[in-house]
Structure formats: C-alpha cells, structure tokens
Amino acid sequence: MDEKFTVKIFDIMEGRPEAVMNNSDLMTLGIYPLDRIRISMNGNNVIAIVKSSIEFIESGFIGVSPEVIKILPLKNGDIVSVTISEKPQSVSIIKKKMDKQQLTEENFISIINDIKSNNLSSVELSAFVSSLYINGMNMEEIKFLATQMAKSGEILNLKNKPIFDKHSLGGVPGNKISLLIVPIIAAAGLTIPKTSSRAITSACGTADIMEVLAPVTFDAKQIEKIVNEVGGIITWGGGANLAPVDDYLIQIEHNLSLNPRSLAIASIMAKKLAVGANFLVMDLPMGIGTKIPDHEEAKKFARDFIQIGEILKIEVECVITYGDKPIGRAVGPALEAKEALKALETGEGPSSLIEKVTEIAGIILEAGGVVIRGKGKELALEYLKNGKAHKKMLEIISAQGGNPSIISDSIQYGKFSKLIKSNSEGYCTHIDNNSITQIVRTAGSPKDKGAGLYLHVSKGMKIVKDQPLYEIYSNSEDKLEQSVIC
C-alpha cells in the first residue's frame, strides 16, 4: 500500500491540500478519487484529497497543489511515498448525526475545527448538511454549533455595552431598512455593529447598498474602532473574520439549494455571538416569495429564536412582517442607497419603509432604555424627522471612509432606463418579489451598482391604461433589454 511516485507541482488553488494521480495507479493502490492520501518524504508527510486523472498525470507521477507544498516543501521530480490515510474523526461524527444520535459539544468542536482547517472534503460537508437537513438539531446542539462557529473566528470586543443588533431572515427586495435603523439607534447613543451580506440570490444585499455610500470591507479591529467612535457601522460580514466556518457550510447549502432550519438558526446566532450582541431584533418576513410561508411557521421560528437566545444569553425580540411585496419603491444598490439617504435627509419616504424602520428601531430604543415602553416607534420617527439620524449616518459614512457631504440627489444610477407602462386597466393586486429580483439581477445588479428598478405603483392601487408601472435602470443597454423581457 506504500508506493513511490514522482512529484509534479500544479498550480490550481482549491484552498486545501490536493493531489492528482493516474486512474490506474489509484486502482492498484485500492484508493478511490476523493479519498485522503498521506504523501511522505524523508519522514515528513502531508494529508491530501486525491483526484483521479486519465491524461493529465501519467502513471508513476503525482500532481500536488500549492497547499501541499506549504506543508511539505516538495519540488518537481521529488520521489514521494503514497499511502491511503485515515479519515478525520469528524467523518464518524457526521455518521452519528445520520444515525439520529445527538451530537455533543466535543463533537461540534471536532467538526468545526476540521471545517476551519479545511480538513473535510465537499463530499463530507455535503453529507453533514444533508444530515442536518433530514435529522435536524435540538436546542442544545444548536447552542453548541453556534458557540463553536463563533469561536472559530474573531469576537468583537466593543467599548459601549450593551450591544444591539437586528437581523432580517430575508427574501424581500428593497429591504434597505438597516441604512435607516443603524443611524437612528446610534444617534440615540446605543451601540449597533451591523454586519450584513452581499447579494447571494437576492437583487442586492445591505452590504452592496451601503457600498454606494462608503467602503464596507473591514477587519475586526477596524470595526471595533469605527463602532467605538460613532456607535454604529454597516459592514460586509464576509470581510471580517466573524464565524468564518459558516461560509463553508453556506456554500454547500447553496450548491444543494438546501437551507436546513436548525443550521440557519445556528448560523445567525453565531454571527450575533461574534459581534457580542446582547439584544437582537429578528425581522421575520412572511408571505409569498419569502422563507416563511405562513403565520404558523413564523411563530415557530419566533419561538425558536427566543429560546436559543435565552440559552445563549442574547435577548431576542421577533417581529413578524409582511414580506410579500418590496419595501419602499427602489430595488438595486444605487437606487436603494438614494431612497434610504433621501428618507434620512427629509424624514419622509414610502410608508412601507418608514413603518418598518420605526417599528424595529423603536423596539431597540425601548430595550436600550432610551424611551419608555410603547414610545419607541414615536422616538424613532422623531430622530428621522429632526435630522439626528441623518447627521449620524453622515458620521458613519465618514468613519467608514465615505464622503461625509454626500447628498441623495448626487447618487448616480443606471445611464439607460426603460419605463414599463400598463397595457390595460384594473387594480394592482400583487407585486411579485421573485420577478423583481430577476429583473434587477438581469439588469446587472449587484455588480452594476446602478442597475435597479423603481416602482411607480403600490399594491391595491387602481391602474389606468398606459399608467407607468415601474422603471428599470442599467449601465448596459444589452442587459436593460434582456431585463425588460424577464
């Protein structure tokens, strides 16, 4: 089982030690593609995932990736031994979950360590995500997983505690509410380090929108500095090293179009532990096109988040919101940044936006003791109207390295546009989230920050023939054309 092979270095970076061997060599060694092999020379060795090749590598040779060489400094032409290697312990822990047994804290420590060190192959990660989807996790397991995920990366240590946070479960286009909530909360003297994502399948993420106004990529130290200075930040979560293990699992979830409920809860809570949150408002958008189909499921989610919050010592309040239509009228990075900034400048905006923002900000203001129970929403609206939230937003933009004298009217969006009018008359009974997302992505979002859609109608409105329904924007004429036929 121990055979000699000549080294060939190949330059494909997959993030983990990998090797390529000829199909026939693998067969005679009794090794399967994607098995782990131990590559040894002079008493030193490295474990790599092996792939099979018919033409690229001749029999007798072994191709190794740069990750292999970082551990075992090999040169082209070196002779190494190859034997099959044991699987990491995590593989048997994944099997344990498949066998419907409860995983222990030690089990999660093993798995998270192996994921972090890139020791698990995508085949094994897929089996883990599949088993979590099928067999789920109980609250204790979710606690262990969230805690270990958080420990796998940086944990923010902010000066002014308690730490407030908000999180939307997603699925609703135009949901730029964080750009208004964060300055309101920070203006009230509370601390809110908002990490957000870029678009995955949505039209654009909060990070994509904020990036129109200021840089959003910061490491943990920079985040701490900015938040300590101005009380708030709107940063891209993927830039800091917060619960980084989550990203490996999200990739596999995405590949499989699976979103195991228990894993989703653990992921969100891991990120909240990483920012040191003490109080969290969970926005649970419900309705067609969201992740929550009905009230039953929304209440179940709410119960679970509150319960896991108690276990992790994060106070969680849940808001079930109607998510079956876009928030505000603008969808797309520049259009949303413009709509958010304009609302901060004027204290006014589409009611769906202002309602949701003041509702959630109000809960945080009350929890922070800034105002008595029942008066939070009012105060949030006041901060919007009296310009304090706007002033704070400009401070945040400045602290993040953006232009502190930016005005909403100066924000550029797509050069090309197309106004879509009604070809009949009637009532607007439904605005479809998925269609809007598809149009905006086809128009070039999130890469083209100017790509987007502006709604001229809202749900329930009477429509006459030739009335403008919505306008699509893009910096590419081609893409604009494609998006029109979506």
Q: For residues 243 and 162, give the distance between their C-alpha atoms in angstroms, rounded to a whole number.
A: 20
Q: For residues 175 and 210, give the distance between their C-alpha atoms in angstroms, rounded to a whole number.
A: 12
> By CB under 8 A, what part of segment 363-392 binds its own copies?
none
Q: What angle do CA 19, 21, 26 make, to 5 degrees?
A: 120
Instruction: Please tell me whether residue 477 binds its own copies under the rule CB under 8 A.
Output: no
Which of 7, 20, 169, 334 forms a contact with its own copies (CB under 8 A)?
A: 20
Instruction: Please tell me whether residue 119 binds its own copies under the rule CB under 8 A.
Output: no
Instruction: Please tell me whether residue 422 binds its own copies under the rule CB under 8 A.
Output: no
Instruction: Please tell me whether residue 127 binds its own copies under the rule CB under 8 A.
Output: yes
C-alpha pair distances (Å), 99 with each of 95, 146, 183? 6, 22, 48
C-alpha pair distances (Å), 405 with each of 110, 164, 249, 345? 50, 27, 40, 12
C-beta of 50: minimal distance to its own copies in Å?
A: 11
Closer to its own copies at the Cβ: 141 or 317? Answer: 141
* Residue of 47, 53, 44 lying closest to 35 (CA atoms): 47
Which of 19, 29, 280, 393 forms a contact with its own copies (CB under 8 A)?
A: 29
Which of 131, 196, 262, 433 forms a contact with its own copies (CB under 8 A)?
A: 131
Instruction: Please tell me whether residue 485 binds its own copies under the rule CB under 8 A.
Output: no
Binding mask 42-61 for its own copies (x = CB under 8 A): ---------xxxxxx-----
Binding piece for its own copies, criterion CB under 8 A, among 268-276, 344-352, 393-401, 443-451? 443-451
Binding piece for its own copies, criterion CB under 8 A, among 119-127, 362-370, 401-409, 452-460? 119-127
Cβ–Cβ under 8 Å, residues 387 and 341? no
- Secondary structure class of 16 (helix, strand, coil): coil
Which of 221, 295, 447, 462 forms a contact with its own copies (CB under 8 A)?
A: 447
Question: To 10 degrees, the CA torsion angle through 442, 446, 449, 455?
Answer: 60
Instruction: Please tell me whether residue 333 binds its own copies under the rule CB under 8 A.
Output: no
Token pair 């970076």 in the structure block, residue: 13
- Please give the single-letter amino acid code of residue 403: N
Q: For residues 50 and 48, give the distance between their C-alpha atoms in angstroms, rounded to a whole number.
A: 6
- Please give the single-letter amino acid code of residue 293: P
For its own copies, the binding residues (CB under 8 A) are 1-3, 10-15, 20, 27-30, 32-35, 51-56, 66, 87, 91-92, 94-95, 98, 100, 121-127, 129-131, 133-135, 198-201, 251-252, 254-258, 441-442, 444, 446-447, 478-479, 482
